Amino acid sequence: MTIGMDDAAILAELERLALLAGAEIMDVFHAGIVVEEKSDHSPVTEADRRAEIVILQGLRAAFPHIPCVAEEEASAGLLPPALGDTFFLVDPLDGTKEFIKRRPDFTVNIALVRKGVPEIGVVYAPAQGTLYSGRPGKAYAVAVGENHEPLDRSEISVRGCAEPKTIVASRSHRTPETDEFIDRHDGAEIVSVGSSLKFCLLASGKADLYPRFGRTMEWDTAAGDAVLRAAGGRTTLIDGRPFTYGKRNQAEDVDFANPWFVAEGGAKG
C-alpha cells in the first residue's frame, strides 16, 4: 500500500526500513565479512547489497512514484532517467571501511529530497544501537534494542554558540585543507568519527562544525544533513551558498558528486 505524503508517516517508514537494513548488516558483521572491490576500487560487501535490497524494495512498495538513487545501483549504472523535484537518496552502508575494520561507526542512510533540500532523513548506527532521524522542525535520537526494535525516543537540537568549538573531522579522509580550517579555530576540540554520524553529533548538540574538504557523494551526506537541518543546523558550500542535492550533468564531476562543504550546528564558522 502506498503511504501518504504526511511527513511523520514518511519518517516512520524510513525508520522501519533503516532498522531492517541494519539487521541485515549485523548478520554479515557477525557471520564474517568478505570484501570485494568495485570498478572505482572502493570496497563493497554482502552487507551493502543486502541492506540496499531491503531498503529499495520497501521504498518502491510504499512510494512507487518517487525515484530512488542508491549507491550500489548507481555503481552499476542504474539511475532514474529523471528525478523531478522529489526523490530518495540511499546509502545502505555508509562507512564501509569502518565496517570492514569492525569499528562501530558505520550507518544506514535514507533521505527524502525535495527541491534540492534533504527534508526527511534517517541515520541508523546498528552496532551502536542508535538511530537519528529528522523531518522539518523535528529531530530525534532513538535508542535501539538488540533485535533492532526502537526503544526510547528523545528530541534533539543543535546547541548555541560555543567557545572553544568542537569540530568533527573524518577519521578516514582528513586533508590538509581540513587541518587548515581547524587551525583557524583556536583551542578547538577535535572529534574523529566515521560515516554520517558526524552530522548527527552536530544535530544532537555535541559538536559545532563539520568541514568536509574532500570527495563525497550525495547519498553519503543527505540523510545526516536532513537530520542536522531538522535539528536547527545548516550545511553550506565553503563560500556560504546553499548546499543542494540532485546534481546531474556536472561539467566538473560525475552525477551526484558533492563539492566541499561546511556543516554547522549553533556556532558559526
**Does the structure show a pLDDT above 50 at 216?**
yes
Binding residues for substrate: 71, 93-96, 220
Domains of the chain with bracketed CATH: 7-155 (3.30.540.10), 166-264 (3.40.190.80)
Ranges assigned E (strand) in 101-174 = 107-114, 117-125, 130-135, 138-144, 150-155, 166-170
Predicted TM-score (pTM) of this structure? 0.94
Helices (H) and strands (E) counted in the chain, each on its own, are: 7, 14
Angle of CA points 30, 34, 38, to nearest 5°: 135
The Cα–Cα gap between 95 and 111 comes to: 16
Tell me the chain's radius of gyration from C-alpha atoms: 17
Binding residues: 71, 91, 93-96, 220
Residue 163 corresponds to which amino acid? E
Facing residues of 209 across strands?
167, 264
pLDDT in tens, 84-141: 999 999 999 998 888 999 999 999 999 999 999 999 999 999 999 999 999 999 999 9
Name the residue with higher pLDDT: 170 or 213.
Answer: 213
The Cα–Cα gap between 64 and 190 comes to: 43
The Cα–Cα gap between 55 and 108 comes to: 10
pLDDT in tens, 27-76: 999 988 888 877 776 888 899 999 999 999 999 999 999 999 999 999 99
Binding residues for Mg(2+): 71, 91, 93-94, 220
